[in-house]
Amino acid sequence: MGELTSLLRIKHTIIQAPMAGGAVTPELVAAVSTFGGLGSLASGYLEPENMREQIRQVNQLTSHPFQVNVFVPESIPEMTAEDLTFWKKRLPELPDAHGLPDEQALWDDFEQKMNILLEEQVPIVSFTFACPNEQTIRRFKQLGTLLIGTATTKEEALFLEEKGMDAIVLQGSEAGGHRGTFLPSKGDALQGLISLISEVKPLCHVPLIAAGGIVERKGVEAVLQLGADAVQIGTRFLASEESAAPDVYKQAILQAEGSETAITKLFSGKRARGIVNQWMEKERPHEEATLPYPVQHRWTTPMRKKAAAEGNLDQMALWAGQGVGRIQSILPVKDIMQELSKA
């Protein structure tokens, strides 16, 4: 534990999860970092210059370290006309020009973000959905940037360590939001956090960050006892005053039980855990027919944005982990950090 807090230059072993989609604000990130945890910006769906602006906003709000998380692009499988027509008929709202992303444009976006992170000298950068290439890793290492990867299996953790990640987030199946799985697996790669930590700890030599279903201090203490060096927490911070999640989303978190979450590909084409709503129930038979990520994500964006503007929970992506049933109040980040750290 001491090694990681020293590397990150933080006081407490609490990392706020980098949740893409707009809920994470510079104010939220700065509040976590100022208290002595590690705040995290999510660049996943930001334009590169918007990411730069948020980085500068956080730097104005705190002098403490924070991280920026980046999605590593993946190959987009081919789709048939029938695949596209199927969802055109089922979605209540469709994007302009059918929202088909260009793979090269995704890589150009990634490279622009890498350049900005280097220019802004962000001290800690984390990656989800894959491991960056050797050239990217080398550029950051030359600047002294601390790199964090995301793993959902032992094989992924060992791969990330071999490639040069300085720490690894172990994402248990309990975690809310998108799965970070990126290597093929014989099974479903939905390993629980306790099992995952126990399996990886004896084999990895870099610090491990536990993520999945942790919302209070006793959960923090449990995974630290198992051998994790820090914890990454998302859902609890969604229900904070500094979070930009819509009020109806926050209320849904307060009202949900842990048994009311499920893994789905329906909103984005990539597996993610959220609170079950009408859209998930209605379209459940078509889980395996979803378009690949990020195509399905682009196609459902108009529906999700309209639903959020109208306060319609039935068609929003309500990402939340299995610890959601233990969240009873919306609090300022300072109070949440105080409880999590018992400071």
Summarised one tens digit per residue, pLDDT across range 146-198 is 999 999 999 999 999 999 999 999 999 999 999 999 999 999 999 999 999 99
Nearest residue to 267 (alpha-carbon basis) of 63, 8, 20: 20
Does residue 101 surpass a pLDDT of 80? yes
Please give the angle made by the CA atoms of 130, 179 and 141, to the nearest 5 degrees: 30
Write out the two tokens for 297. Answer: 């994500």
Which pairing describes strands 272-275 and 177-178: parallel, antiparallel, or unpaired? antiparallel
Task: Using DSSP, state whether 124 is helix, strand or coil.
Answer: strand
pLDDT at 100: 82
Write out the two tokens for 174. Answer: 């309990």
Tell me if 74 sits within 8 A of 129, measured CB to CB. Answer: yes
Task: Using DSSP, state whether 166 is helix, strand or coil.
Answer: coil
Q: How far apart are CA 242 and CA 340, in angstroms?
A: 17
pLDDT at 248: 97
Q: Which of 90-99, 121-130, 293-302, 309-318 has the lowest mean pLDDT?
A: 90-99
Q: What is the pTM of this model?
A: 0.96
Write out the two tokens for 300. Answer: 């459902």
Q: How far apart are CA 173 and CA 105, in angstroms?
A: 31
* Percent of the chain whose pLDDT exceeds 90: 95
Show the 3-state SS of 38-56.
EEEEECCCCCHHHHHHHHH
Write out the two tokens for 43. Answer: 């660049």
Summarised one tens digit per residue, pLDDT across range 210-263 is 999 999 999 999 999 999 999 999 999 999 999 999 999 999 999 999 999 999
